[in-house]
Amino acid sequence: MTGALAQVATLIAKDLRIEARNRQTLGLVAVLGILIITVLGLGLGAQNNVAGFSATAVLWVAYLFSGVLCFEKTFAVERNDAVLAALLMAPIDRGVIYLAKLVSNLVLIAAVAAVVTPVGVLFFGFDLSAAPLTFAGVMALSIVGFAAVGTLFAAMVSSTRLQGGLLAMMVFPITLPLVMVSTQLMMKTFRDGVAPSPGAVGVLVAFDVIFLVVSWLVFEWVLEP
């Protein structure tokens, strides 16, 4: 177990060093997220009677498209110069590669969310002071499930020529329950003042657990050199 964790940490450090060196993925994805919020905000109107619902929905659109781009970029790095083939020949378990990519994607998405979320909050006048921890907790649970699905399917389509469109078509429908549940929870919390029910939070947790386990188990079969 210690050896596997060390391998995961090494691969995560490699991905983050590459990103820190070129800074292409994070900068591009953050700009994309801000543009999405700006365009949708101008189209929907920043001032409305259900700011919490609108802001959460728009933030999710930014998270989804930004996340798909993150997934693409992290696997594109491995595909360049046959790096992935060399990694697959290394004496490490395929599940280790999945966990490392998952954590790397979560770090990138969290960094993007740290930039994009304040923009959406300010643009829509979304007052988080009523339940900031609820917002953070629900979004964190949802993004973990989103990253679990996205990392798996990014590995499946990374060798095809239809990466962007195909990845989005595969990931978005599967993550729809996360978007719906988290958006409804935010609406009840900030519009109705009702705390999230254990059942609704349990749906998010169950989604995360199921897809984390399934993705870890099948990753070996979907990853191709």
Percentage of the chain with pLDDT > 90?
Answer: 16
Stretch 118-147: mean pLDDT, rounded?
86
**By the 8 A CB rule, do 189 and 135 touch?**
yes
Stretch 87-115: mean pLDDT, rounded?
85
Decide if pLDDT at 49 tops 60.
Answer: no
Stretch 91-96: mean pLDDT, rounded?
78
Long-range contacts of 154-162 (CB under 8 A, 24+ apart): 154/71, 154/72, 154/74, 154/75, 154/101, 155/75, 155/98, 155/101, 155/219, 155/222, 155/223, 156/222, 158/72, 158/75, 158/76, 158/78, 158/79, 159/79, 159/224
Poorest-pLDDT segment among 8-22, 50-64, 65-79: 50-64
Measured between alpha carbons, how far is 204 from 172 in angstroms, rounded to an integer?
Answer: 16
What integer pLDDT is reported at residue 82 of this predicted model? 65
Decide if pLDDT at 181 tops 80.
Answer: yes
Decide if pLDDT at 97 tops 90.
Answer: no
Decide if pLDDT at 70 tops 80.
Answer: yes
What integer pLDDT is reported at residue 207 of this predicted model? 93
Tens digits of per-residue pLDDT, 122-135?
877 777 777 888 88
The larger pLDDT score, comparing residue 163 to residue 168, is at 168
What integer pLDDT is reported at residue 145 of this predicted model? 93
